[in-house]
Amino acid sequence: MKSRWKRIPIALTALVIAAFIWLPFVHLFFKQPASAFHSSDGISPKARLLAARHLELWTDPTLRKHELERMRASNAEWDFMGRSFLVWSLANMSLREPQTKQLHLETMDRIIEETLRLERERGMYVFLMSYAHADSYVVQPPRSLFIDGEIALMLGARRLLEEKSEYKALLTERVVAIAEGLRANPQMALESYPNECWTFDHCIALAAIRLADHLDGTDHSALIGEWISMAKQKLVHPQSGLLVSSFTTRGKPLDGPEGSTIWMVTHCLQVLDADFARDQYQRARQQLGETTMGFGYAHEWPASWDGPADIDSGPIIPVLNISAGSSGMAFIGASAFGDEAFLSQLATTLDFAAFPSHKHDRLKYCASNQVGDAALLYAATLGPMWEKITSGGKR
């Protein structure tokens, strides 16, 4: 017995030594080039597999019903955002491969029309979390920029592929509402929830306005420039230099920077203010992006800000402070800015820790859900829409 107890420390020491030897090499079993996830001149293998899974969800009513019910039980926003990311992804895919346009247009129209129907029949609250009812909106009648901005960008993405007259009128209506709302408030802040304004939603809405300008020959550049100036003055966290995630209608920050917000913000800023976009991405990459033993991930908050965990941040893995929400959205930032090293490291972690399930040439991640996979699909396909917007001139 004594001899056996003496062997335990030796065995533990051997395990520790083995771990130090082998752990640095584990990532090599999962590592792939960034081009396997995002290709700048085509559609990557991962994108095709993810897209096949999402297209199946929108052609199989039973499968879609099950997936949406599972998500809405946690967060009604996820249902809405899953639709948005998929529509934007299909637009990018169609621009890369025009021969797929008609197939993708059918799915885009199905998603947009069902989304508009639900909003018309049940109001904007159908896609908002329950606390939207907890207080009154400052601006009456209430509107949610979260809803207006993402629907506007869906409509614009669809029209970028092929004109549809009824969508032109609907996009113009949303753009006018957003622009008038921004001009009506000296702080240029619009609510998504009662007296709660999100940088994420403002940047998506302004990107939708830029797309509408490209499509229809309108010019909101002065409005966009004014909002960027306001954001630089009032919404930048002094310690990190990163944009805060949320603020009041008076422009007072409610939270500091959050990874689940900033990565998409940097991408949208590319069509609003390219230099500011690059600055924000570099700061986010330095303060939130991490790599350990070849595995890439992201924190939810910089070291200079300790925010509360919420449904957007997802579970925070202790010690390394890995945020599922920030790590997932980091794919969008890395793809948008051509950060191939970080993108490859993130993809390595994804294949190691997110439990990929391949079935019938379709891919889903078991540790994710429909909106998470849709955001990954968008990260894997982004590029062509923004190139169209920034190329100059009308469509």
Query: How many CB atoms are located within 10 Å of the residue 351 CB?
Result: 18
Q: What span, in angstroms and rounded, lies between the C-alpha atoms of 220 and 208?
A: 11
Q: What span, in angstroms and rounded, lies between the C-alpha atoms of 332 and 261?
A: 11
| pLDDT at res. 320 | 67
Using the 8-state DSSP alphabet, how is residue 307 labeled?
P
Query: How many CB atoms are located within 10 Å of the residue 344 CB?
Result: 22
Q: How many CA atoms lie within 13 A of 26 on its CB side?
A: 15
Q: What span, in angstroms and rounded, lies between the C-alpha atoms of 180 and 37?
A: 39
Contact 358, 52 (CB under 8 A): no
| pLDDT at res. 359 | 87
Instruction: State the DSSP string of 219-278.
Output: --HHHHHHHHHHHHHHSB-TTT-PBPSEE-TTS-BSS---HHHHHHHHHHHTTT-HHHHH
Contact 119, 80 (CB under 8 A): no
| pLDDT at res. 40 | 85
Q: What span, in angstroms and rounded, lies between the C-alpha atoms of 12 and 69?
A: 47
Q: Which amino acid is at 338?
A: G
- pLDDT per residue, tens digit, the chain (395 aa), is 445 444 455 444 444 444 444 445 445 455 688 898 999 889 999 999 999 999 998 888 787 777 777 666 667 898 999 999 999 999 999 999 999 999 999 999 999 999 999 999 999 999 999 999 999 999 999 999 999 999 999 999 999 999 999 999 999 999 999 999 999 999 999 999 999 999 999 999 999 999 999 999 999 999 999 999 999 999 999 999 999 999 999 999 999 999 999 999 999 999 999 999 999 999 999 999 999 888 899 999 999 988 777 766 667 776 668 888 999 999 999 999 999 999 999 999 998 887 788 888 899 888 888 899 999 999 999 999 999 999 865 55
Q: What span, in angstroms and rounded, lies between the C-alpha atoms of 260 and 327?
A: 8
Contact 81, 72 (CB under 8 A): no
CB under 8 Å to 210, separation ≥6 — which residues?
A: 220, 224, 271, 272, 389
Contact 193, 134 (CB under 8 A): no
| pLDDT at res. 18 | 42
Using the 8-state DSSP alphabet, how is residue 306 labeled?
-
Architecture of domain 34-390: Alpha/alpha barrel (1.50)
Using the 8-state DSSP alphabet, how is residue 304 labeled?
T
Q: What span, in angstroms and rounded, lies between the C-alpha atoms of 87 and 48?
A: 15
CB under 8 Å to 239, separation ≥6 — which residues?
A: 302, 304, 305
Q: What is the 3-state secondary structure (H, E, C) of 308-365?
A: CCCCCCCCEECCCCEEHHHHHHHHHHHHHCCCHHHHHHHHHHHHHHCCEEEECCEEEE
Note the Cα 215 to chain centre separation in Å. Answer: 23
| pLDDT at res. 24 | 58
Note the Cα 72 to chain centre separation in Å. Answer: 18
The answer for 339, left when phi > 0, alpha when psi is -120 to 50, beta otherwise, is: beta
Instruction: State the DSSP string of 49-99.
Output: HHHHHHHHHTT-HHHHHHHHHHHHTT-HHHHHHHHHHHHHHHHHHHHH-GG
